[in-house]
Chain A
Amino acid sequence: MTETPNPVAFTPERLAKVKEVIARYPEGRQKSALLPVLHIAQEQWGWVSSEVMDHVAEILSIEPVEVYEVASFYTMYHLDPVGKHVIEYCRTGPCCLMGGEEIYDYLKQKLGIQAGQTTADGLFTIKEVECLAACGWGPVFQIREQFYMNLTRERVDEIIEELSK
Chain B
Amino acid sequence: MARKILTEHINVPGIETFEVYRKQGGYAAVEKAIKTMSSEEVVEEAKKSGIRGRGGAGFPMGMKWGFLAKPEGVPRYLVCNADESEPGTFKDHHLMKSIPHLLIEGMIVSSYALGANKSFIYVRGELMYVIRILEKAIEEAKANGFLGKNILGSGYDLELVVQPGGGAYICGEETALLESLEGKRGNPRNKPPFPAVKGLYQSPTVVNNVESIANMPWVINNGGDAYAAIGIGRSTGTKLISASGHIQKPGVYEIELGLSVDEFLNSDEYCGGIRKGHYLKALVAGGSSVPILPAHLITKTAAGEDRLMSYESLSDGGFATGTMLGSGGFIVFDETACIVRNTWNFSRFYHHESCGQCSPCREGTGWMEKVLHRIEHGHGSLHDIDLLVDVAKKIEGNTICPLGDAAAWPIASAIRHFREEFEWHINSPKEATQPGAVFMGAVLA
How many A-B residue pairs have C-beta atoms within 8 angstroms? Tell me.
Answer: 147
Q: Known: A93-B346, A96-B342. Is A136-B87 also a contact (CB below 8 A)? A: no
B251 nearest in chain A by CB position = A136
Residues of chain A within 8 A (CB-CB) of B167 are: 74-77, 129
Residues of chain A within 8 A (CB-CB) of B355 are: 73
Residues of chain A within 8 A (CB-CB) of B93 are: 133-134
Q: Is A29 interfacial (CB-CB < 8 Å)?
A: yes
Residues of chain A within 8 A (CB-CB) of B85 are: 130-131, 133
Residues of chain B within 8 A (CB-CB) of A135 are: 87-90, 242, 244-245, 250, 329, 331
Q: Known: A76-B126, A136-B252. Is A97-B337 also a contact (CB below 8 A)? A: yes
B125:A74 contact, CB within 8 angstroms? yes
Residues of chain B within 8 A (CB-CB) of A29 are: 182, 201
A146 nearest in chain B by CB position = B129
Partner of A93, one of B180, B242, B342, B353: B342
Number of interface residues of B (CB under 8 A): 57
Partner of B250, one of A39, A70, A129, A137: A137
18 A-B residue pairings within 8 Å (CB atoms): A24-B161, A26-B75, A35-B180, A70-B183, A88-B126, A93-B87, A93-B345, A94-B88, A98-B244, A130-B353, A131-B169, A133-B84, A133-B93, A135-B245, A135-B250, A135-B329, A142-B126, A145-B129
Max chain B CB contacts within 10 Å: which of A39, A75, A130, A133?
A: A133
Partner of A136, one of B161, B201, B250: B250
B244:A94 contact, CB within 8 angstroms? yes
Q: Known: A97-B246, A145-B129. Is A74-B124 also a contact (CB below 8 A)? A: no
Q: How far apart are A6's CB and chain B's nearest CB, in angstroms? A: 25
Q: Is A92 interfacial (CB-CB < 8 Å)?
A: yes
Partner of A131, one of B243, B250, B349: B349
Q: How far apart are A9's CB and chain B's nearest CB, in angstroms? A: 22
Q: Mark B314-347, 1 if CB is under 8 A from A, else 0.
A: 0000000000000001010100010001100110
A70:B185 contact, CB within 8 angstroms? yes
A94:B252 contact, CB within 8 angstroms? no
Q: Is A160 interfacial (CB-CB < 8 Å)?
A: no
A136:B243 contact, CB within 8 angstroms? yes
Q: Is A151 interfacial (CB-CB < 8 Å)?
A: no
B349:A31 contact, CB within 8 angstroms? no
Q: Is B165 interfacial (CB-CB < 8 Å)?
A: yes
Q: Known: A97-B333, A132-B126. Is A73-B186 also a contact (CB below 8 A)? A: yes
The complex places the Cα of A39 from the Cα of B182 at a distance, in Å, of 15
Within 127-148 of B, Cβ neighbours of A (below 8 Å) are at 127-129, 132
Q: Is B235 interfacial (CB-CB < 8 Å)?
A: no
Q: Is B45 interfacial (CB-CB < 8 Å)?
A: no
The complex places the Cα of A33 from the Cα of B181 at a distance, in Å, of 8
Q: Identify 12 new A-B residue pairs, CB closer than 8 A, beyond the known A75-B168, A136-B90.
A: A32-B182, A39-B125, A66-B183, A70-B184, A73-B166, A73-B355, A92-B349, A96-B342, A131-B88, A133-B93, A135-B90, A135-B250
Q: Is B163 interfacial (CB-CB < 8 Å)?
A: yes
Q: Mark B245-267, 1 if CB is under 8 A from A, else 0.
A: 11000111000000000000000
Residues of chain A within 8 A (CB-CB) of B89 are: 133, 135
Q: Mark A103-132, 1 if CB is under 8 A from B, else 0.
A: 000000000000000000000000001111
The complex places the Cα of A38 from the Cα of B331 at a distance, in Å, of 34
